[in-house]
A = this chain, B = another copy of it.
C-alpha cells in the first residue's frame, strides 16, 4: 500500500505537458528536471515516463524529433503541440479543483 506513489500517478501528464511548454526536452532530461525541481517529491522512473511519452505522442499532444546534441549523442526531443496545450489547460483546471477539494478536507481542523 504505497500511498505516495498512488498520489503521484495522476500528476504525471499535466506536469510533463507543462514542462514541455517551457522548452523542448528529451526523456532523460525530463526525469532529471522533475526530480530536481520537486526535490524528489515526485520520483519519476523511466519505466513510467517512456510509455507515457509514446502514448501522448500517439494522441498528438506532443511531438518527438531526433536530434544530435552538442556532445554527439542522439536524443529525442519532445515539444508540445497546440492540442497538447489545450489538454494541459484542461488538466490544470482539474488539478486545481481536485487539490483544493482535497485540501479542504485534509487540512480542516480535527475535532477534539
Tally of this chain's copies: 2
A18-B106, A42-B102 are known contacts. Are A94 and B7 too (CB-CB below 8 A)? yes
Interface size on A, residues (CB 8 A): 45
A1: chain B residues at CB < 8 Å are 13, 55, 59
Cβ–Cβ contact B10 & A7, under 8 A: yes
List CB contacts (< 8 Å) of A3-40 with chain B: 3-15, 18-19, 21-23, 34, 37-39
CA distance A110 to B39 in the complex (A): 21
Q: Which residues of A approach B to under 8 Å, CB–CB?
A: 1, 3-15, 18-19, 21-23, 34, 37-39, 41-42, 55, 59, 90-92, 94-95, 97-99, 101-108, 110-111
